Amino acid sequence: MSRIEGKCSNEFAGVKEAFAKNLNSGEDIGASAAVFIDGEPVVDIWGGYFDEARTRPWDRDTIVNNFSTTKTMTALCALILADRGELDLNAPVKKYWPEFAAAGKERVTVRHFLGHTSGLAGWTETVTLEDIYDPEKSTSLLARQATWWEPGTASGYHPITFGPLIGEVIRRITGKSLGRFFAEEVAGPLGADYHIGTGPECDSRVSLMIQSSPYVQPGGKSLIADRAYFNPFVSPQTSGTIAWRRAELGGSNGHGNARSVALVQSVLSCGGKVGNVRLLSEKGCERVLEEQANNVDLSFGIPIRWGMGYAINSPMLRSIFGEHLAGRRVAGWGGSGGSFVINDLDARMSVAFVMNNHVEAGGWDHRSVDVIKAAYSCLAVAK
């Protein structure tokens, strides 16, 4: 039996039970889960092992790569700037990044980036991992290429380009890289142990991703999906390299634990204020719910309803997380391998799960789903 550490209120004991079940079955190696309500943790637990050999326990301050759960942090940065009046989400990108207007992209707007509708789901030219670590090269390539479809007409998930595109807009406005802006304007004020671009001082605390399922291969059915996901190909092992860790990839390489994910995302679920720190107005939070696309996503091949940087409530989300979501204002997203965070603006609740056992589930990984469904079941009883 795996030892579970941390705190869990009696009302949310079901979350701990769901978390423990996956650790005890061996489906998880090391993981953490958190439920924050009104910006305070009612669940903050961790357990299992830091390493594949199971020689070191996962402890309170263990952090791990979250892959695309990082996108929720990047989107939050954009929403903060929009709320301050520094970023117009409806403005053409060229207003902030003039070079971007090349190749007929004059009418691409910032919200097209956040809604995965810009037509820039990947790079047209062949790129390497080293290319995407170089922000100047990765963004200049995107600036000069044409879109893959008419912007705004459909969504096509931007697995890696999401970060460079939004990050460059943030840099042009603030003079700060995405990682620096996030550290100084979001994580720092909140006291959150989350990093987009992880420094050497954190290396000893980073648990490496452990691949436990075969690599997903190019399917050949969708040129958009194959180019978006495999140019370049990012494996679980890639995320264990120092080069990956040091880069500031706002779509894919944030590092944190469930506590830090839920704490930061509580800004959104709690009307913009956590403790004494206000980062958004209530109206600024509600902008996340503005529908940007509601279609079969060109990259995923499944129906996704996109808000501003997050998936928002839809039949698809309710089919995964249950009818507890019915009628609720929710926004969330997850990462390759199994991490996920969901924010409920009505319950003022954020639920997060992160882990080191990377499973390609071919859809939504049940480990995070189990935790989130348990949180909603406990919430219903507690109310």
Contact 239, 68 (CB under 8 A): no
> What does the pLDDT look like over 4-57, one tens digit per residue?
999 999 999 999 999 999 999 999 999 999 999 999 999 999 999 999 999 999
- Start-to-end Cα distance in the chain: 32
pLDDT given at position 1: 76
Q: What strands lie across the sheet with 254-256, from one edge to the other?
A: 195-196, 254-256, 63-65, 206-207
Reply yes or no on whether the pLDDT at 117 is more than 90. Answer: yes
Reply yes or no on whether the pLDDT at 363 is more than 70. Answer: no
The class that CATH gives domain 4-68+206-217+259-382 is alpha beta
Reply yes or no on whether the pLDDT at 89 is more than 90. Answer: yes
Query: Considering the chain, what percentage of its residues have pLDDT values greater than 90?
Result: 93
DSSP-derived letter for residue 353 is: E
pLDDT given at position 214: 79
Reply yes or no on whether the pLDDT at 219 is more than 70. Answer: no
What average pLDDT does the chain have? 96
Query: Is this structure's pTM higher than 0.95?
Result: yes
pLDDT given at position 364: 80
pLDDT given at position 41: 98
> What does the pLDDT look like over 182-206, one tens digit per residue?
999 999 999 999 999 999 999 999 9
pLDDT given at position 220: 62
Reply yes or no on whether the pLDDT at 119 is more than 70. Answer: yes
132: confidence class by pLDDT, cuts 50, 70, 90 = very high
Calculate mean pLDDT across residues 114-120.
98
User: Exposed, middle or buried by CB within 10 Å (0-12, 13-18, 19+), for 217?
Assistant: exposed
Strand partners, 274: 277
User: Strands 206-207, 63-65: parallel, antiparallel or unpaired by DSSP?
Assistant: parallel
> What does the pLDDT look like over 252-272, one tens digit per residue?
999 999 999 999 999 999 999
Report the 10 Å Cβ neighbour count for 147.
19
Tokens of 377: 């079941």
Q: Which of 109-118, 176-185, 214-223 has the lowest mean pLDDT?
A: 214-223
